[in-house]
């Protein structure tokens, strides 16, 4: 079964045709390391092909939806050209795979959503957010310009102005 290829995502079927994906790294506030980032890039293609799935709902385990990229992954991205390229390619792949998913995606934003986690949360067809949740794009705090999914996503959601 394709779901076994995603060890950092937990899958349940709360009702027929409804697939609940839970980002499952609560000890790290569901921050994306290289493995989880790849899983989030790829899972939408498998969901799109699965005839039993009518809608996908994504949320985070514990108190966070997804705290963005973990620091080790971010360090690799700024240490070398290859690391930066991997990060940009991954951000593009995540954006495209969610945008091209043939099934509706709902994000249930249960806690902080940052960086890649925020992209996943807001790229969904429908985003539901708890009243006390904070969202942010962490690029400024890291002292870098947004050059990944944020550069594609924010103008679509907010307008070019």
The tens digit of pLDDT for each residue in 126-139 reads 999 999 998 877 66
**pLDDT tens for each residue of 100-133:** 999 999 999 999 998 888 889 988 999 999 999 9
**pLDDT tens for each residue of 41-81:** 999 999 999 999 999 999 999 999 998 776 676 666 667 77
Give pLDDT, residue 134: 82
Give pLDDT, residue 116: 82
pTM for this model (two decimals): 0.86
Give pLDDT, residue 73: 67
Greater confidence (157 vs 110) lies with 110
Read off the tokens for 16: 């027929």
Work out whether strand 9-15 and strand 18-23 pair parallel, antiparallel, or are unpaired: antiparallel
Contact 30, 64 (CB under 8 A): yes
Which residues, other chains included, contact 149 with Cβ-Cβ below 8 Å and sequence gap of 6+? Answer: 91, 92, 94, 95, 116, 119, 123
Average pLDDT of the residues in 145-150:
62
Confidence check: pLDDT of 154 > 80: no
Burial class (CB in 10 A: 0-12, 13-18, 19+), 131: exposed
Q: Count Cβ atoms below 10 Å from residue 132 Cβ, excluding itself.
A: 6
For residue 148, the number of C-alpha atoms closer than 13 Å in the C-beta half-sphere is 25
Confidence check: pLDDT of 149 > 70: no
CATH of domain 2-158: 3.90.226.10
**pLDDT tens for each residue of 76-97:** 666 777 777 777 787 788 889 9
């Amino acid at each position: 079964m394709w779901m076994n290829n995603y060890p950092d995502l937990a899958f349940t079927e709360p009702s027929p045709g409804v697939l609940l994906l839970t980002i499952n790294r609560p000890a790290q506030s569901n921050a994306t390391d290289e493995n989880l980032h790849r899983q989030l890039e790829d899972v939408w293609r498998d969901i799109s092909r699965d005839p039993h799935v009518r809608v996908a709902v994504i949320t985070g385990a514990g108190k966070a939806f997804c705290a963005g990229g973990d620091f080790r992954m971010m360090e690799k991205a700024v240490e070398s050209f290859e690391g930066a390229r991997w990060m940009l390619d991954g951000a593009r792949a995540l954006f495209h795979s969610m945008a091209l998913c043939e099934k509706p995606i709902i994000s249930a934003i249960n806690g902080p959503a940052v960086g890649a986690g925020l992209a996943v949360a807001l790229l969904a067809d429908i985003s539901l957010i708890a009243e006390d949740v904070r969202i942010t794009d962490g690029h400024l705090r890291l002292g870098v310009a947004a050059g990944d999914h944020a550069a594609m996503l924010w103008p679509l959601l907010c307008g070019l102005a």
